[in-house]
Amino acid sequence: MQPAEADFRYLGMRDDDLLLALGRQLIAGSLGAKGASDDETRQAGARWFDAYVQQLRPKLCGNAELRSLLGREAQDRNALFCLIFDLIFTPHLGVPAGALASRILSLGVSKICPDWK
Amino acid sequence: MSQEHEIDLVLATAGGPVDWSEIPASFPVSEARSLEDAFNRMAEDLAPSLGADQIVVRFCQSTGIGARLHPCAPGRYVITLPIGLFVRMYAVGRRLWAYRDRERKGINPKTILQFATSPADDYDPDALIVPDRVRSIFGEYKTDREFWPQLVEFDAGNEHAEKTDFNVSILVNQALVLVYAHELGHLALGHVAFAKEVLAVTSPDPLAEVKRLVRKGLELEADYFAGPQLAGLCYLDIERNGRLDSSDDWAADFFRIGFSLVMLFGAFDPRKRSLGVYDREFYAHPIVRHQAVRHSISAFFSQVGALQELWRKSSVMGWIEAEQCIAWFTLLECMDGASAESLIPIHALVHGGEASSPYISAKLRHGQALFEATQRVRQRFVDGRFSLGDLEEFVPLLESSV
């Protein structure tokens, strides 16, 4: 699955805004007794990301093409983004796939797959 | 993804499982765990009648106060309750309840104190500060690290008397039952499917504003659902103890409910934002929500035991007493750093004086009309008779809310 044009806008976002985008979507899918502040929304996004990345790790770290691009994040940023997007995309992801792919990219794939070093 | 993984992911998003061994010793962990067990038993009993295969209720390691109902896999739901809600209610409950004994604190018990901002004022809520001393009760945290030491410091200033904790335990239980029942209400009333199928906003969406208003109506409906659940548990408790004929026992329970409702809804908006600010939000102002819960409890007791009048009198006394305790607490403990530019907003549901009352009344009437319209339209959805045109019923309410 290739990212749409709208997904690329996440590439330039700061980490705080990516977490907000993730958290907003997660919170929108639930009903609560009280509105969530931006900080609470970011926290939800960060916690979800940390937990979900554990589940994604085998898929990301087992991908040879991704590994071959390691260390070339600066040159091949868009190609990496597209590849990560394709790997993580599922129809019922529950968050914007572009935001998730962008955060994985900005966090650094090598941090998620430390054995690659 | 397996169903267990989905539930784990939801719990992780809400803060992860509580590390009970890390909760400061001055808070009764066993009580929180018993409450969680009781909520899970209730959820298990209710699940079939709500069309759910499983409802899991968990306290989470979050220091906030926002509980949530998360649809998980089809037919499976998770209700998350932040442990922050439990400990904050305990700490502030202990502090406020001790202010009932004002004479011993050297305060003339006849002195009435009232803090109020006008609900019509369009002030900048960021100019209102939550003082550091009470940040662990009314403030927010970017990370949890700072929260626990500040809470422990605040709670160290409380009198840890057995008599106080007996009452505070009841207050906290009442507040949490209400929050839990609110979440369960979303499920019982069919809000999950309604929100997903009707209220999802497309872009651009000419109905976006109406949908936002209906979403607010769902929250009011969940509040209205929660009140009688709390009242029913109170009734069962008194019945179990053979005290149904004791008006003193009823009055004491009603007083405490009146008090705990103020504690809970007061904590929802410590910056005391004006009623108008809520026009464009998913939640009604705490004043309106408080009234919805009080109204639903009153309706319950008009049918069960003919206790409506006693409820009204005793719960209003609890309400006023809670406001007094908060006012004295604000004056004596929270005024450091106050200035014309940085006001201290720690009062509860008192907004303005006589001049404000028509404005508040109008908002309460609007809240009631929104609740009733939501109830009608949502029921049509549940009965399979809903069409998008039904949302037009909300258009006049949209115009009158802004």
Which pTM was predicted? Answer: 0.91
Q: Is pLDDT above 90 for A24?
A: yes
- DSSP string covering B195-262: HHHHSPPPSS-TTHHHHHHHHHHHHHHHHHHHHHHHHHHHHHHHHHTT-TT-HHHHHHHHHHHHHHHH
Chain B residues with CB under 8 Å of A44 CB are 13-14
Instruction: Tell me if A33 and B16 make a contact (CB, 8 A cut-off).
Output: no
Tens of pLDDT, residue by residue over A63-106, are 999 888 877 766 788 889 999 999 999 888 889 999 999 999 99
Q: How far is A59 from chain B (nearest CA, A)?
A: 13
d(CA B164, CA B108): 21
- DSSP string covering A69-99: TTT-TTTTHHHHHHHHHHHH--TT-SS-HHH
Whether residue B73 contacts residue B8, with contact meaning beta carbons closer than 8 Å, is answered with no
Chain A residues with CB under 8 Å of B142 CB are 39, 42-43
As beta bridge partners, residue B59 has B81
Residue with tokens 């955060």: A103
d(CA B28, CA B91): 11
Instruction: Tell me if B179 and A44 make a contact (CB, 8 A cut-off).
Output: no
Of A33, A47, A52, nearest to B182 by CB-CB distance is A33
Q: How far is B112 from chain A (nearest CA, A)?
A: 31
- DSSP string covering B263-286: HHHHHH-TT---GGGGGGSSS--H
CB neighbourhood size of B248 (10 A): 9
Report pLDDT for B402. 47
Q: How far is B266 from chain A (nearest CA, A)?
A: 12
Report pLDDT for A72. 72
Between B29-46 and B162-188, two packed helices, what is the crossing angle to 10 degrees? 30
Any chain A CB within 8 A of the CB of B146? no
d(CA B285, CA B276): 9
Percentage of chain A with pLDDT > 70?
Answer: 97
Element (H, E) at B69: strand B68-71
Instruction: Tell me if B14 and A26 make a contact (CB, 8 A cut-off).
Output: no
Of B12, B140, B219, nearest to A40 by CB-CB distance is B140
Instruction: Tell me if B12 and A32 make a contact (CB, 8 A cut-off).
Output: no
Structural domain boundaries, residue A33: 5-116
Report residues of chain B scoring pLDDT below 70. Answer: 1, 115-127, 337-348, 350-355, 401-402
d(CA A80, CA B188): 45
d(CA B116, CA B71): 39
Report pLDDT for B25. 96
d(CA A73, CA A80): 7
Say how far residue A32 (Cα) sits from the centre of its chain.
25
Among B371, B276, B126, B69, smallest CA distance to A34 is for: B69
Chain B residues with CB under 8 Å of A43 CB are 15, 62, 64, 142
As beta bridge partners, residue B55 has B77
Q: How far is A93 from chain B (nearest CA, A)?
A: 10
Instruction: Tell me if A43 and B65 make a contact (CB, 8 A cut-off).
Output: no
In this predicted complex, what is the ipTM?
A: 0.82
Tens of pLDDT, residue by residue over A38-57, are 888 999 999 999 999 999 99
Nearest CA in chain B to A49: B13
Report pLDDT for A68. 86
Tens of pLDDT, residue by residue over B70-128, are 998 889 999 999 999 999 999 999 999 999 998 888 888 788 877 666 666 666 666 67
d(CA B387, CA B395): 15
Residue with tokens 């008599």: B163
Instruction: Tell me if B15 and A32 make a contact (CB, 8 A cut-off).
Output: no
Among B259, B285, B288, smallest CA distance to B272 is for: B285
Phi, psi of B77 (to 5 degrees): -135, 150
Any chain A CB within 8 A of the CB of B87? no
Angle subtended at Cα B331 by Cα B325 and Cα B334, rounded to the nearest 5 degrees: 100
Chain A residues with CB under 8 Å of B16 CB are 47, 51
Any chain A CB within 8 A of the CB of B172? no
End-to-end, the C-alpha distance of chain B in Å comes to 44
CB-facing half-sphere around the CA of B182: CA atoms within 13 A: 26
Any chain A CB within 8 A of the CB of B183? yes
Chain A residues with CB under 8 Å of B70 CB are 29-30
Whether residue B1 contacts residue B76, with contact meaning beta carbons closer than 8 Å, is answered with no
Q: How far is CA B141 from CA A38, B61, B145, in A?
A: 11, 13, 9
State how many domains chain A has. Answer: 1
d(CA B194, CA B222): 13
Report pLDDT for B343. 62
Say how far residue B67 (Cα) sits from the centre of its chain.
9
Tens of pLDDT, residue by residue over B194-229, are 998 998 877 778 888 999 999 999 999 999 999 999
Instruction: Tell me if A33 and B8 make a contact (CB, 8 A cut-off).
Output: no
Report pLDDT for B55. 96
Any chain A CB within 8 A of the CB of B312? no
CB neighbourhood size of B318 (10 A): 22
* Count of A-B CB contacts under 8 Å: 73
Angle subtended at Cα B36 by Cα B46 and Cα B79, rounded to the nearest 5 degrees: 60
